[in-house]
Chain A
Amino acid sequence: MKNQNRTFLALLMRWGPFLIITALFLLAPQFISPFRLSQLGKFLTFAIIAVGLDLIWGYGGMMSLGQGLFFSLGAYGFAMYLKLLASGDKIPDFMFWSGLTELPWFWAPFSNPLFAVVAALVIPSLIAAIVGYFIFRSRVQGVYFSIITQALTLLTSIWFVGQQAYTGGTNGITNLGSAKFFGQSLLSTGVQTGFYLATVICLALVYVLARWVTDSRFGRLLIALRDDEARVRFLGYDPVLIKTLVFTLSAGIAALAGVLFVPQVGIISPANMGVVPSIEMVIWVALGGRGTLIGAIVGALVVNFGRSYFSETYPEIWQYFLGLLFVAVVLLFPAGIVGSLMQGFNWLRIRIQGEPMSDMTEYGTTPYRPITLGHSASNLSAPAAPAATSTSTATSATASATVSSPSSTTATAKGGS
């Protein structure tokens, strides 16, 4: 009986804060202005992307620079539904301007909301699955994965700009205001609040899903892959399958964020797709704390609120600040906000109680390990130039990081119980 109480308490400690924060976000429309609400909704969709990115980067060690691509593909799919809804019987204005007289066959089914949402989620995931399978099969790792996903993002955005008649070109898909839901305009407060609430719920669900994935056997394999892929392969697991799965999942999550982004922001254009937004997504996760999930959400909100604050008051400074943020996070706070807080909390705990964090507070059970050049270089027959000396410094840094949060061991042990 007593034991049961303890489990309940542990569950409450673990999920209580999560439930409280979710409830607070759900109640936010009561307290803040519609302008701030739409801003918050937009940033929460970014937080969804960040969770997906943390899954693949923080846990899987694969820094995808293609999240902007999957995000915008999802967004374009749902934007086309809204556009067709807004245009009524006519074809969308940008198609008319480009000389099309009827709707292209591949956009036609997007007038069905269910098809539009499903396609907006499935198509990016499918692309990620196919591309990921081929990339991982040829054992492309580390920065090469980043560069290839970046090239993929670039080529798709160039292509979308070029296909003016089908995608709206540089302007993207916009003027969605006359779309109506249940007789109310898309821009009305009621519909906007609805999409905001949907965003909060989706973020909560995505977070729970990601937490479940990382706590599962699959998640442990993912972390093992990040830390030593060759060893995982030698143990008989198939890294290609695991990596493709998690890449697909993160792409699907980014696409979901895109679907929720469009109705709240009212525009999707290649500017949201390109190389620059994709790298910024990485800094959200890095600032919040890699491999913590909650850090991804914190980072996305902090960076974007910081941007809106600075660009409202001192637009020039923001760019400097963002640039220095990248440098500072990498050089000075590799653990990010949440990671550093956890290290601090853990230090206090050791001081006061003489023991590290128990498995009850499981955040940060997987401290980020910088990936050394050694692996990818040997794989690609590149001269592993400075790796010879710097690998040792990097691993010693890693060692100290692991020592400072010994909870990683408890987390692994937890699996057995």
Chain B
Amino acid sequence: MDAIILQTFNGLSLGSILLMVSLGLAFAFGLMGVINMAHGEFIMIGAYTAYVFQEAFAHSLGGVEAGVWFVLAIPAAFLVAALLGALMEVTMIRFLYGRPLDTLLATWGAGLVLQQAARSIFGAPNVNVSSPIWLQGGFDFGAQLLLPYKRIFIIVLVAVIIGAVYFYLYRSANGRRLRAVMQNREMASCLGVRSRWVDASTFALGTGLAGVAGVALTQLGSIGPSLGTFYIVDAFMVVVLGGVGRLPGTILAALLIGISNTLLELGTSATVGKVLVLLAIIAFLQWKPSGLAALQTR
């Protein structure tokens, strides 16, 4: 019984991490048709922002243990990643709208440059970001069952982000403009929406979310310049499985992949579990090329 609860929790946790890394991608890919292969590198940038905050501000802000720096690193990582994302949109992506295969290649190149830049600045070896004291340990339910605070923190963070994204999209003026441009660009432009600005800000929002994901990932292990490459294909599978352009589908897909992955790992081994999940996704996409969201709507 305990093992099942623990595995479900682990699955939920993995699902929330997947959701974290793929939510930003759902913006770039789902709403704008941009295959942002550098998405993983924006996660890496967010992680390194947390590292810089730890090194630079931890002492003046009550020490590493208190974790004020960590809380501040979250919005900072969002800003850094969003600004770099906006820069990338203005210099590169905007020439490539409507050519997804070309965005795939160009952003892959940009990702290589960002990786090498991280290697030049921080060095090739991995670095560690320590945890604030309030993220160490976990809820203890008897002998076998311990739910780590770090994982719960990530689940809560994802829930907060989804709430914020929902609020932004459906309750704010900017979100209304964004939806208008995505539905009918010409008409929105005619009505005075600056569509160029909407494009840039949407893309920046996606990369900013990747930055926040990076901060969360620092709590799960050491970080290095190639951190993002471990997550990029998974993130794409989540978005494609969820249905391109459907945020509810993305959420469902992330949780489904997370839970089935951990449950399959329980039955087999870690690699076989992952292989089976990927195979299942590919098979599912043969049957429903438009993903899970299509199941809901039709």
Contacts and interface: CB of A to CB of B under 8 A. Distances in A.
A381 B96 CA distance: 21
B31 A383 contact: yes
B104 A143 contact: yes
A385 B113 contact: no
Nearest to B96: A330
A155 B275 contact: yes
Interface residues of A, number: 63
A134 B286 contact: yes
30 contacts: A134-B286, A137-B286, A140-B289, A142-B100, A142-B101, A147-B236, A147-B240, A148-B240, A158-B271, A161-B271, A162-B272, A279-B37, A282-B105, A323-B111, A323-B112, A326-B105, A327-B109, A329-B105, A371-B100, A379-B289, A380-B290, A382-B243, A385-B185, A385-B245, A386-B32, A386-B199, A387-B98, A388-B184, A389-B195, A391-B98
Report whether over half of chain B's contact residues are helix, strand or loop; otherwise say mixed: helix
Contacts of B30: 382
Contacts of B289: 138-140, 144, 379-380
Contact of B106 (A139, A327, A372, A389): A327
Given A377-B33, A382-B290, A385-B33, A316 B116 contact: yes
Contacts of A391: 98
Contact of A373 (B100, B109, B282): B100
Interface string B112-124: 1111110110000
Contact of B109 (A154, A323, A384, A386): A323
A320 to B, nearest CB: 5
Contacts, number: 182
Interface of A: 63, 134-135, 137-140, 142-144, 146-148, 150-152, 154-155, 158-159, 161-162, 275-276, 279, 282-283, 286, 316, 319-320, 322-327, 329-331, 334, 370-374, 376-377, 379-391, 393-394
B275 A322 contact: no
B217 interface: no
Contacts of A286: 105
B33 A319 contact: no
Nearest to A330: B106
Interface of B: 30-33, 35, 37, 92, 95-102, 104-106, 108-117, 119-120, 181-186, 195, 199, 229, 232-233, 236-237, 240, 243-245, 269-272, 274-275, 278-279, 281-282, 285-287, 289-290, 294
B90 to A, nearest CB: 13
A286 B31 CA distance: 27
Per CB-CB distance, the 6 closest pairs between chain A and chain B, nearest first, are: A326-B109, A162-B271, A390-B98, A323-B112, A323-B113, A390-B97
B233 A275 contact: yes
Contacts of B236: 147, 150-151
